[in-house]
Structure 1
Amino acid sequence: MSVSEILDVVATAAPEIRSGLPGRRTKIDEQNRSGERQLAADVWADELLGDRLAAVDSVGAYASEERDEVENVGDGYLVAVDPLDGSSNLRSNNPMGTVVGVYDDDLPTTGRSLVAAAFVLYGPITTMVVARDGSTTEYVVEAGDRRDVGEIALPEEPTVYGFGGRVPDWPAGVADYVETIEGELKLRYGGAMIADVSQVLTYGGIFAYPMLQSRSSGKLRILFEGAPIAYIVESAGGSSSDGTRSLLDVEVTEVHQRTPVFVGNADLVDRLEATV
């Protein structure tokens, strides 16, 4: 079974997804499984990736943030996708992306079942970051081709931080932690997890969408966002946490289960766990 074939399909679809965004910025009268009102672009990107990945011989099932259930399509890996992470940025023309986790186990399962994870970032250029076999590599995507631009390792000296959620809704421990690091790091938060994680991978630091007073599990989904991003960051020499343990060790009992997410340099994540 070929993981590379799965990743190639995502890379080939990326320019098509990007070029199809301008005419799909409006909301539709549908909500996804998490209760979020969908954009036309969300549904379109999901259908495109679902059809393309279902046609890959090594894909056994397709799961999406935009679909209620896991869809069995054959025998092989289980692919979990967030088709358009940060799609709310489409209206304001800010970055967004696609997140992919390739699992070698039935869903739901822990992040330890991941054999590869990737994200595509639709920024000024289209890039694809892939983690597999213990390393993380960045590619530039042009006309569906992936051009290797080098292995990624988190810089030892962190520079940036970005925390999601409303500040008044943060638990006291999260607020205390941010107060300790805001004098050391530069705030970088753009409302799309992929773009903010890319800043952390490039400059070092920490990204988080924490637990909230109104929502103890935070906002992000473990199978579609938390575990794949943790796999990427840990493969680049960083750490991840839900506040107490690696995101790869979080027990998952529901396909659309949410989790607090903290990823970045190990020292910053360790300090976070000691505070919250």
Structure 2
Amino acid sequence: MSPCWVTSSWVVAPHITRYYLLNRNRETKPYSHVSPIRTSILATITSQQDASSNGAGLFLPSQDSPTTLTRFVLENIRSSKAPEDIVDLISSIQFACKKIASLVSRAGITNLTGLFNEGKSINIQGEEQKKLDVLSNQVLKNALKYSGKMGVIASEEEDVPVTVDESFSGTYVAVFDPLDGSSNLDAAVATGTIFGIFKQEVSCLIEDMADNIEPSQLHCLASTLQPGSRLLAAGYCMYSSSTMMVLSLGHGTHGFTLDPEVGEFVLTHPYMKIPKRGQIYSFNEANYHQWDPVLQEYIENLKSGKNRSGKCYSLRYIGSLVADVHRTLLYGGVFGYPGDKKNPNGKLRLLYECAPMSYLIEQAGGKATNGKQRILDIVPNTTHERQPLILGSEEDVDELMHVYTKYAAKLQV
């Protein structure tokens, strides 16, 4: 039997290889009956031979060893003072996000769209729960619980912080919105999971949040009410044309894309930086006449080009917080869900939405405010407290704050 090249499960005879090498620079194609797959294999062999003949070694693909999320977290821990057990938490979160991504992608064909319990299930926010709201919440709760690192788990979908069994308890506090933007789910618009991790100040268990709550449990609840500046980690996972996790452990903001072929989040956007100024504003302008005069003037200046940049801004508003913030992070500009006459404190929850998103934006070089103070400095009074939120490029947010300062000065005169 004559010697031959062996690659994968294909056997390529030497005379075919020689023929390909002799004819690769000609206009005529090698054997017309050779399939595209075999032609591709021959091209790979040729590349390997060329590399070997030049002393460069075998041909290697450009991403022979991508950085996975787990590998990134491990390397980050080695180079910083981050606690080692944060690895277990991030691993639990990424597992939950993979599961939720799968549920979202198949929702339309598995009867997971629409309202839970025929619309009779209302969460603490007074909102009707979607089927996937409830399911995603359970997936994330279980994943965090079985990490063995959680002391308190607080969810937007729960009335109170969630019970943690003693056998699984740890020393961290997790706050999360399991499926942000679920109202858009039936229209196949991007949704996402938002999360934040705090260090618990004391070790405790919340077993029963009844009216006769004990003082020790009240202290445990207080461990949840921490300002965003104390976050150890924050991130979101966006379920769209691709599934992407954006994460910060306090050393920059980094983006990971889920590779469906291997089932791993791979680092695709290291050290994300929001532009100093953008050219997009993202507000629900249907509420324009409900806003205060300061915000109205600011938006008018953006639209007319009378702002500091002298450029007219474009409006982009999806109505899904994760999607709108993700676009703002990539392209710059300003996103806002401000307070108005109907909802003076806005509608976004400080713990589950405002603080984690503000943390990510600041780590990427941007700013976040409620119009009066930095979001990350606000200490929550309740687990479901709402705050106005305006975040984005540093210069865009600074310009808005300048308008507020100008109006405050006028009122003092």
Q: Is TM (by shorter chain) over 0.5?
A: yes
Quote how far apart the aligned CAs of 1:72 are: 4.3
Question: How does 1:107-256 map onto structure 2 within 5 Å?
Answer: 107-143=224-260, 144-149=263-268, 150-164=270-284, 166-182=287-303, 183=305, 184-256=312-384
**Paired residues of 2:155 and 2:162 also in contact (CA < 8 A):** no
Quote how far apart the aligned CAs of 1:91 are: 1.3
Secondary structure, counterpart of 1:20 in structure 2: helix
Quote how far apart the aligned CAs of 1:123 are: 1.2
Are residue 27 (structure 1) and residue 144 (structure 2) matched? no
Quote how far apart the aligned CAs of 1:185 are: 2.1
Quote how far apart the aligned CAs of 1:34 are: 0.9
Q: Which residue, out of 152, 163, 179, partners 1:84?
A: 179
**Paired residues of 1:15 and 1:142 also in contact (CA < 8 A):** no
Aligned equivalents of 1:269 and 1:175: distance in 2? 15
Quote how far apart the aligned CAs of 1:172 are: 1.8
Secondary structure, counterpart of 1:267 in structure 2: helix
- Structure 1 window deviating more from structure 2 (178-187 vs 202-211): it is 178-187
Are residue 260 (structure 1) and residue 388 (structure 2) matched? yes
Aligned equivalents of 2:199 and 2:382: distance in 1? 17
Deviations 1:3-51 (A, max 9, x none): 2322222222223212223132111211111111110110000011001
Report the AA paired with residue 96 of structure 1.
Answer: T
Higher strand share: 1
**Paired residues of 1:12 and 1:145 also in contact (CA < 8 A):** no
Aligned length: 276
* Large movers: runs of 4+ above 6 Å: none
Question: How does 1:20-99 map onto structure 2 within 5 Å?
Answer: 20-21=103-104, 22=107, 23-28=111-116, 29-73=120-164, 74-99=169-194
Point out where structure 2 has 5 or more consecutive residues left out of the alignment.
Answer: 1-83, 201-222, 306-311, 405-413
**Paired residues of 1:84 and 1:98 also in contact (CA < 8 A):** yes
Report the AA paired with residue 327 of structure 2.
Answer: Q
The Cα RMSD (Å) is: 1.4
Secondary structure, counterpart of 1:38 in structure 2: coil
Aligned equivalents of 2:91 and 2:280: distance in 1? 31
Report the AA paired with residue 280 of structure 2.
Answer: V
Deviations 1:228-275 (A, max 9, x none): 000000000000101111100112110000000011111111121222
Report the AA paired with residue 93 of structure 2.
Answer: V
Deviations 1:45-104 (A, max 9, x none): 001100110111222111100000012421211000100111111011111100001012
Report the AA paired with residue 129 of structure 1.
Answer: V
**Paired residues of 2:150 and 2:170 also in contact (CA < 8 A):** yes
Secondary structure, counterpart of 1:216 in structure 2: coil
CA separation of 1:156 and 1:266: change in aligned 2, threshold 3 A? closer
- Structure 1 window deviating more from structure 2 (213-222 vs 70-79): it is 70-79
Secondary structure, counterpart of 2:300 in structure 1: helix
**Paired residues of 1:58 and 1:75 also in contact (CA < 8 A):** yes
**Which structure's relative contact order is higher, taking Cα pairs within 8 Å and 6+ residues apart?**
1
- Structure 1 window deviating more from structure 2 (179-188 vs 259-268): it is 179-188
**Paired residues of 2:113 and 2:186 also in contact (CA < 8 A):** yes
Aligned equivalents of 1:7 and 1:186: distance in 2? 36
Quote how far apart the aligned CAs of 1:204 are: 0.7
Q: Which residue, out of 189, 193, 197, partners 1:102?
A: 197
Aligned equivalents of 2:330 and 2:253: distance in 1? 12
Deviations 1:166-211 (A, max 9, x none): 2222222111111111243221110101000011111011111001
Aligned equivalents of 2:288 and 2:122: distance in 1? 26
Report the AA paired with residue 92 of structure 1.
Answer: A
Quote how far apart the aligned CAs of 1:220 are: 0.1
Report the AA paired with residue 71 of structure 1.
Answer: V
Q: Give identity over the alignment, percent.
A: 31
Point out where structure 1 has 5 or more consecutive residues left out of the alignment.
Answer: none
Aligned equivalents of 2:259 and 2:154: distance in 1? 26
Higher helix share: 2
**Paired residues of 1:118 and 1:129 also in contact (CA < 8 A):** yes
Secondary structure, counterpart of 1:191 in structure 2: coil
Report the AA paired with residue 282 of structure 2.
Answer: G
